[in-house]
Amino acid sequence: MFKTSILFTALLSAVAFASVSAAPVQTEGTGIGKHGEIKLAVTFDNGKIQDIKVLEDHENKVLAAKVFTDLKDAVIANNSVKVDGIADATFSSKGFLNAVSDAAKKAGVKLSDQAKKAKKADAAMPAVQNYDVVVIGAGGAGFAAAVEAKSKGANVVLIEKMPTVGGNSLISGAEMNVPNSWVQNKLNIKDDTPARMAADTLKGGDFKGDPEIVGVMTVNALPTAEWLRDTVGVNFEKDNVFQFGGHSRKRALIPEGHTGTEVITKFSALADKMGIPVITNMKAEELVKDKDGRVVAVKAVSADKEYTFNAKGGVVLATGGFGANAQMVKKTTDAPGTTGEALYMAEKAGGQLVNMGYIQTYPICDPISGVIELIADARFDGAILVNQEGKRFVEELERRDVISNAILKQPGAYCYVLWNDNIGKISNTVKIHDTEYQAFTKQGIMHTSDTLKGAADFFHIPYANLKATVDRVNQMAKDGGKDLDFHNRGGLKDLSTGKYYIIKAVPSIHHTMGGVRINPKAEALDKNGKPVPGLYAAGEVTGCTHGTNRLGGNAYTDIMVFGRIAGEQAAQAAKATK
């Protein structure tokens, strides 16, 4: 009887304990990503994270994919936010981790302070692999090369050192300059030609670009854009083109969404359909040459394991520039992978590097992170640039280098972009990038006001000066839009009524003009101007196209045209060796 009572009492105690034990608790947390608020629902059980659900986000779906999978798994596994973020999604990672921290704080849960590195998966694949063409770099140029080579019958592999694909091609606006395009024809822009675009390009680069290379780019711009539309499946806006600084005509096609997401997602899907292996976290380290001096392989490393990718037809370098090289720059709009190792690889293999001294800044960037303020591209639709004194100081549609240099000469080396609802209503740029409004406002670098005085006061701009500037702009807008002060080639727009939107901006490293010297066949050239057998290059890794300064919209044309050419030439070389 006594033993039974003890057992019964123990059972009662266990039941009582279970009844008062803490049930799983779910709380919501928020953080600011690159493009706006990230909202999560985090479930905790006995102080441990059990699950994380994404309720809301506005991030780039390609870059942020591993944030919401790999990073999420690492946070749950470690019960900690002290884990490595996704390398090429820094701000999305930070916003995600901050949202988890916010949820934990609301739940009264203390997460682990242990900093643990995420384990990298080592793919079970052969250390030596054989292909016709090896493409290094899974951005726009790399995908264009790989798809074109595959379509010509080559066996292709695409290797990428970062955990995700896309590079600068993904995070850019992805506008592509194309003369005589179907959109121009629809908008009755009938007088644009490859020769006109070539003249603009050479002038924009102070005539330091290679005229032959520029000519190949401009002549092939339209058929390449049609290939992107009809073969790759890229959707471009049907009734809108941009006129970037330095261009004499509106000619930049605009992909849906105004970023490279539309292009890279379509390329990724096509590469998968075509059976092109895309291997991420694979860092190329050396180009291998045979006894005859031909580049025949790539040595690479992933998760501390060495691999060799043999390339019968050749190797295509499509790795981007060196804008993210920490030894060269402090702030940059470039993807983290653009650190320039391929330039040294190419040089070691015999290639010549040219125009390495020319680096371009993008004038309108976030003072905190250095990323482009895409919403501030409202300047293409009539927004004005003013300094801390409330005065205009440069044409808003000038060359990027000219605007950047002008900003750096202003008090504090920054400026403001100002527009109103009238411009916001007609600007597809503002509409598409409205999620940036939330992020930049919370950072304190953007403000909305019903009155011009409110906009001035928020950033301590002398109101009388700003009012005088806006009054003059309004008068010129009323008189037909002709800019008598700075000759804005797009014409001035009325700013007489609110709401007003104002954002602080600084120049940031955006594009490196120098790189591998190539010929019209995208073959890498040596110091004597002769091709390095088996080595091709396309995109920002090359140095012949843009001279001292790249005009907006020319990068996508460059990478797509020469990406295709490089892939085709390497595929033909592979056939010739069979």
**Cα–Cα distance, 440 to 261 (Å, whole number):** 21
Residue 568 host element (H or E) = helix 554-576
Select from 71, 354, 330 the least CA-distant residue to 213: 354
Select from 505, 174, 515 the least CA-distant residue to 338: 515
For 396-452, the three-class secondary structure string (H helix, E strand, C coil) is CCCCHHHHHHHHHCCHHHCEEEEEEHHHHHHCHHHHHCHHHHHHHHHHCCEEEECCH
pLDDT digits (tens, 9 = 90+) for 332-355: 444 444 456 888 899 999 999 998
pLDDT digits (tens, 9 = 90+) for 452-472: 999 999 999 999 999 999 999
Query: Is the distance from CB of 287 to CB of 298 less than 8 angstroms?
Result: yes
Please state the separation of Cα 508 from the chain's center in Å: 13
- Write down the pLDDT at residue 22: 58
Tell me which of 195 and 163 has the higher pLDDT: 195
- Write down the pLDDT at residue 225: 98
pLDDT digits (tens, 9 = 90+) for 406-440: 999 999 999 999 999 989 887 877 777 777 888 89
Q: What is the DSSP letter of 34?
A: S
Q: Between 261-274 and 140-151, two packed helices, what is the crossing angle to 10 degrees?
A: 30
pLDDT at residue 116 greater than cutoff 60: no
Specify which of 53-57, 292-296, 421-425 reaches the highest per-range mean pLDDT. Answer: 292-296
| Residue 459 φ/ψ, nearest 5 degrees | -105, 15
**Cα–Cα distance, 415 to 494 (Å, whole number):** 20
Residue in the structure block whose two tokens are 């033909």: 572
Taking residue 41's Cβ as centre, other Cβ atoms within 10 Å add up to 15
Q: Which residues contact 14 (CB under 8 A, 6 or more apart)?
A: none
Catalytic member of 251, 400, 517, 550? 400
Q: Which residues contact 146 (CB under 8 A, 6 or more apart)?
A: 133, 135, 156, 157, 158, 271, 276, 278, 316, 567
Q: Which residues contact 12 (CB under 8 A, 6 or more apart)?
A: none
Select from 402, 370, 334 the least CA-distant residue to 507: 370
- Write down the pLDDT at residue 414: 96
Beta-ladder partners of 41: 28, 53
* 400 noted as active-site residue: yes
**Cα–Cα distance, 473 to 428 (Å, whole number):** 22
- Write down the pLDDT at residue 119: 41
* Confidence band of 374 (pLDDT split at 50, 70, 90): confident
- Write down the pLDDT at residue 578: 62
Query: Is the distance from CB of 130 to CB of 574 less than 8 angstroms?
Result: no
Beta-ladder partners of 546: none
pLDDT digits (tens, 9 = 90+) for 188-240: 999 999 999 999 999 999 999 999 999 999 999 999 999 999 999 999 999 99
Tell me which of 162 and 19 has the higher pLDDT: 162
- Write down the pLDDT at residue 214: 97
**Cα–Cα distance, 319 to 340 (Å, whole number):** 8
The answer for 323, left when phi > 0, alpha when psi is -120 to 50, beta otherwise, is: alpha
**Cα–Cα distance, 251 to 182 (Å, whole number):** 10
Helices (H), 172-219: 182-186, 194-204, 211-219
Select from 124, 62, 116 the least CA-distant residue to 302: 124
* Confidence band of 324 (pLDDT split at 50, 70, 90): very low
pLDDT at residue 183 greater than cutoff 80: yes
Q: Which residues contact 241 (CB under 8 A, 6 or more apart)?
A: 181, 183, 184, 187, 189, 250, 251, 252, 253, 254
* Confidence band of 301 (pLDDT split at 50, 70, 90): very high
Q: In this structure, are strands 531-537 and 305-317 parallel, antiparallel, or unpaired?
A: parallel
pLDDT at residue 544 greater than cutoff 50: yes
pLDDT digits (tens, 9 = 90+) for 552-574: 899 999 999 999 999 999 999 99
Q: What is the DSSP letter of 482?
A: -
Mean pLDDT score, 147-162? 96
- DSSP code string of 209-274: S-HHHHHHHHHTHHHHHHHIIIII---EEEEEEE--TT-SS--EEEETTSSTHHHHHHHHHHHHHH
Mean pLDDT of the chain: 88
CA angle 324–165–54, rounded 5-degree value: 100
* Confidence band of 13 (pLDDT split at 50, 70, 90): very low
pLDDT at residue 19 greater than cutoff 50: no
Q: In the chain, what is the greatest distance between 2 CA atoms, to the nearest angstrom?
A: 105
188 burial level (CB within 10 Å; 0-12, 13-18, 19+): exposed
Q: In this structure, are strands 236-242 and 176-177 parallel, antiparallel, or unpaired?
A: unpaired
pLDDT digits (tens, 9 = 90+) for 64-82: 888 888 888 889 888 889 8
* Confidence band of 17 (pLDDT split at 50, 70, 90): very low
Q: Which residues contact 98 (CB under 8 A, 6 or more apart)?
A: 29, 30, 31, 32, 38
* Confidence band of 44 (pLDDT split at 50, 70, 90): very high
**Cα–Cα distance, 431 to 240 (Å, whole number):** 14
